[in-house]
A and B are shown apart, each in its own frame.
Chain A
Amino acid sequence: MLASGPMADAAAAPRRPALHDRHVALGAKLAPFGGWEMPLQYAGVVREHTAVRERVGAFDVSHLGTVLVRGASAASYVNSTLTNDLGRIAPGMAQYTLCCTEDGGVVDDLIVYLRAEDDLLLVPNASNVAEVARRLAEGAPSGVRVEDVSGSYAVLAVQGPRSDATLEAVSLPAGHPYMSFVDTARDGVPVTVCRTGYTGERGYELVLPAADAGAVWDALLAAGAEPCGLGARDTLRLEMGYPLHGQDLSLEISPVQARSSWAVGWAKPVFWGREALLAERAAGPRRVLQGIESLDRGIPRRGMAVSSPDGGQVGEVTSGTFSPTRQVGIGLALLDPAVEVGAELTLDVRGRVSRVRVVRPPFVESSVR
């Protein structure tokens, strides 16, 4: 049963994170995002991007949802619905997984924190948390409670090579293995510290009561973390080739197409979308998400047509940006499966022909471990 939950309403005034006044005081440019008003940038996307690659940055990502799934068979229930195999991880570990429809479309991609067999925390995207919670609540057996507590918790990401030192400086645990988390307390405030992130750098995501987020945020900045917005978060994730739900993964773009099959527990007897995804995998996807890299000054942008040199269209860009690290245009594109890595294709950049090469992401070497 869905115990409670603030339902996102796109038409309503945007929700503001607990740190809103601090963002304004820091000079942030704010933008609507998934029903929230969040910092897009402070000092500038490139500077913030570079801070994360070379030093350490702090992001307020409190627009991310928080859903508690609790009760005796909570873990086995979640494992019978979401795609990834919770049997691969032990309590104290988090896992990237997908919530699919029965026809294999992706409702959302999310992180599951396995606290215990009867206690899980799910972190879906802002736009999709209500739908993920609704689906889980609808199918939940008696004894499993699904509670959307989005907004009650703040989520802060601390990312970059200096993230361990930054956490230690604010009296939070650091150094635990990638994708593991520690439930701790700081000045009496419960904080979950997870070795996760969306940047490709070593880093952590902190989940804590929203009312207590200000003190932790202030301490992180005082320890040298530079405030970073969603603009840099997007260029950082795209350099890693991480898909963004709503662009590179969606109800129309399955995990088989998005090359996210690694997040599907194929051997599991049951999960949402299993039959459709098995059939698609066996038949071969009709299109595949690939990386593209500009060979000239054209920057791939979402929706641009991708064509073979003889002029036939072979796909479409789903995400694109200028890579601050590589100083070239990069993107993700859904392409005909016959297109091979290394192929040279062309991009329609507002009527001009621009050349790109198909590459296997990441565009920048990952340092998460």
Chain B
Amino acid sequence: MLPQELRYTPQHEWVRDGGTVRVGITDFAQDALGDVVFVTLPEVGAQVQAGEPCGEVESTKSVSDVYSPVTGTVTARNEALEATPELINSDPYGDGWMFEVEAADAGQLDGLLDADAYAAQTGAS
């Protein structure tokens, strides 16, 4: 049940293009991580590089890097995750979003996966 309007990365993140670029992790990723207990996000104003780690998401069992899918400037981050990180489990494509980036080059989005390509990667339908 992948949202068709989103783009995806091989690191199991989703990207919503709406002027700025909103980023989160996919349902596949949250399911694999298990219960999320802490999220570390880049500061607003931080410069992030496509494909580089810029945060962490930690579950009861493990920790994973959060990557920026595009190069640019962080314009917002989901402060609700500080107190309620479980939003990533319960609503990964909605209230569990992580941060927003103003992309330096909007063309970078074209290099990301569409829903079908991501589904093929995860073996989902």
Chain A positions within 8 Å of B, measured between CB atoms, are: 29, 41, 44-47, 231, 234-235, 297, 299, 301, 321-322, 324, 350
Contacts and interface: CB of A to CB of B under 8 A. Distances in A.
A231 B38 contact: no
A299 B38 contact: yes
Contact of B38 (A44, A322, A324, A350): A322
A321 B63 contact: no
Contact of A350 (B34, B35, B59, B63): B63
Contact of A231 (B58, B60, B86): B60
Contact of B60 (A297, A324, A350): A324
Nearest to A31: B61
Top-5 shortest CB links A-B: A46-B35, A322-B37, A45-B60, A45-B35, A322-B60
Interface of B: 31, 34-35, 37-38, 40, 56, 58-61, 63, 86, 89
Nearest to B53: A350
B89 A231 contact: no
A368 B83 CA distance: 32
Contact of B34 (A41, A297, A299, A301): A41
A44 B58 contact: no
Given A297-B38, A299-B37, A299-B38, A45 B63 contact: no
Contacts of B38: 297, 299, 322
Contacts of B61: 45, 231, 234, 321
B12 to A, nearest CB: 16
Given A45-B34, A46-B37, A299-B37, 19 more contacts: A29-B31, A44-B34, A44-B35, A45-B35, A45-B60, A45-B61, A46-B60, A46-B86, A231-B61, A234-B61, A235-B60, A297-B40, A299-B38, A299-B58, A322-B58, A322-B59, A324-B35, A324-B60, A350-B56
Contacts of A44: 34-35, 89
B36 to A, nearest CB: 10
6 contacts: A44-B35, A45-B60, A231-B34, A234-B61, A299-B38, A321-B60
Contacts of B59: 45, 322
A369 to B, nearest CB: 27
A49 to B, nearest CB: 8
Contacts of A234: 61
B63 A299 contact: yes
A45 B37 CA distance: 11
Contacts of A47: 35
A299 B38 CA distance: 9
A299 B34 CA distance: 15
A231 B89 CA distance: 16
Nearest to A47: B35
A10 B66 CA distance: 33
